[in-house]
Amino acid sequence: MVKERILAGKTALGIEFGSTRIKAVLVDETHAPVALGTHDWENRLENNIWTYSLEDIHKGLQGCYKSLCDDVRSQYGIELETIGSIGFSGMMHGYLVFNEKDELLVPFRTWRNTMTEQACKVLTPEFHFNIPQRWSIAHLYQAILSGEEHVKDISFITTLAGYIHYLLSGEKVLGIGEASGVFPIDSVTMDYDKEMIGKFDALIEKEQTGWKLEDILPKVLCAGEAAGCLTEAGAKILDPGGKLKAGIPMCPPEGDAGTGMVATNAVAVKTGNVSAGTSVFSMVVLDKMIQGVYEEIDMVTTPDGMPVAMVHCNNCTSDLNAWVNLFDEFADTFGMKIDKNELYGTLYRKALEADMDCGGLLAYNYFSGEPITGLDEGRPMFVRKPDAKFGLANFMRSHLYSALATLKVGNDILLKKEQVSVDCMMGHGGLFKTPVVGQRILAAAMNAPVTVMDTASEGGAWGMAILAAYMMEKAVDEKLADYLNNRIFAGQTGTTIAPDAADVAGFDAYVENYLSTIPAEKAAVEGFK
């Protein structure tokens, strides 16, 4: 049956460019993955710029697609010649600029580069809208402020996903979620904010760049809209072997934040998701724009244009993992061989026996800097009062709180200051592998119910495939949230945990101490070299 669907082109393909892996997911009419492809790659630091070359991008694209074709051949004994629809996604933000001959003007500047502080300090107050350093417009304005020669030759600015889409379709477009990391979006017009575009053009008028911002930005498209087709040239780039046919419909390219929202069914108003692993970020879909401007909160959109408040933290489980590894080493020293999953589960569950405020224990999980709390570098640190209740349960709860404390600091602005309401959060990532524990801690942090699905999704590449399928399958006026609820996630089960009042109060008390002791963490950074 699956073989026949693939041969008939009753499929959708999503390919997502992550920071270390490119992944392809092919789904059939049931929206279940039927074939996978992967390609590992790595960014490089050249002249103090984090980058991938165009050759890296092209080889990665072809390598991932070939891996997918190999999987189709291995499983079903057929060649992949056609696909129902295709979508591409990737790491958001960054800076890819081309001249009128489509020549790359400077090496790709990825989201990792923090070289745009000067630009952000001008743009944020000018727009009355937070512009993070990784955004494309921050990179563009910084290049202007720095007097870079290439600026006058810019004909087109885009992101990684936008470049791949243009390479294969010839269309200079972005999905609205991806576009929201390029320049602020107006969720009423579903386009770039016209007033802010005017302010930007006025800012650079004296620079005589020779272009207006609107002339070089990609066109904004919402989920479900057509975004061109795979050209003959594009088919040869994707599949140099020549088996893939041109003419395949392509959906708007999206960012990894948007595909994550789709993959966790978190695009409806008053829902959100938290991805918790090495780093952690939350996305909350708003029913209205927030009033204040906060460096802790990035304003982006869902793939169908609804405003989203994003809180991104650089640190999450690394310090927690380090302590679990220490306990593992202790056990190994005494000749005890403990399964790592069992060790994690036992230690996590022990945290549920702790005092709600951790009994005078405090931990900082900062392996790297954390802008939300004003740190350029990090030093993992554990502190306790002399009269603290120093036991294993409080120790583990303290480190679980620490993993989400900075995320809570950012979200407390939304929940307490802006009075944003959240009906449900979806949790995914390594923190939630042990049932109940991570959910309960996150529910306390967000003061909202947290759901973890029984089966983990395929991640962003699968979410991108679903967006490609949505473009082809949606009924007239069928909203993305309804499509996901009724066609993709219907019948799937998960576990939902509501916030416990005592947990919420305990985490609040912990964070109060956490923030008041930040000067000690800063002193550790300055003194412990």
CA distance 153 to 163: 18
Does the structure show a pLDDT above 60 at 456?
Answer: no
Report CA torsion sign: 424, 484, 275, 285: negative
Residue 89 has phi, psi (to 5 degrees) of -140, 170
Residue 242: per-residue pLDDT: 95
Cα separation values, 527 from 16, 374, 380, 466, 515, Å: 41, 16, 13, 50, 19
pLDDT tens-digit series, residues 343-394: 999 999 999 999 999 999 999 999 988 989 988 889 999 999 999 999 999 9
Q: What φ, ψ does residue 28 adopt, rounded to 5°?
A: -100, -165
Element (H, E) at 75: helix 54-76
Delimit the domains of the chain by residue range.
2-256, 265-456+502-529
Alpha helices in 313-459 (DSSP H): 318-333, 340-350, 392-412, 437-446
- pLDDT mean across residues, the chain: 95
Do 2-256 and 265-456+502-529 come out as alike in CATH topology? yes
pLDDT given at position 279 = 85
Model confidence pLDDT, tens digit, residues 39-85: 999 999 999 899 999 999 999 999 999 999 999 999 999 999 999 99
State mean pLDDT over 199-208.
94
Of 156-170, 277-291, 451-465, 467-481, least confident by mean pLDDT is 451-465
| Mean pLDDT in residue range 28-33 | 94
Which residues, in sequence order, are bridge partners of residue 37? 24
Residues 12-22 have pLDDT tens digits of 999 999 988 99
Check whether 494 has a pLDDT greater than 90: no
Task: Judge whether residue 468 has pLDDT over 70.
Answer: yes
Burial 103-124 (b: 16+ CB within 10 A, else e): eebbbbbbbebebbeebbeebb
Look at residue 433 in the predicted model and tell me its pLDDT: 87
Query: Is the pLDDT at 458 greater than 70, yes or no?
Result: no
**What's the topology of domain 265-456+502-529?**
Nucleotidyltransferase; domain 5 (3.30.420)
- What element of type H or E holds 283? strand 280-285
Is domain 2-256 in CATH 3.40.190.10, yes or no?
no
**Is residue 384 within 8 Å of residue 390, measured between CB atoms?**
yes
Q: How many Cα neighbours within 13 Å face the side chain of 471?
A: 30
Q: Is 339 helix (H, G, I), strand (E, B) or coil?
A: coil
For the chain, the C-alpha Rg in angstroms (whole number) is 24
DSSP letters of 184-196?
A: -EETTTTEE-HHH
Structure confidence by residue, pLDDT tens digits, 239-272: 999 999 999 999 999 999 999 899 989 999 999 9
Rounded-to-10 torsion of CA 101, 102, 103, 109:
150
pLDDT of 430: 83
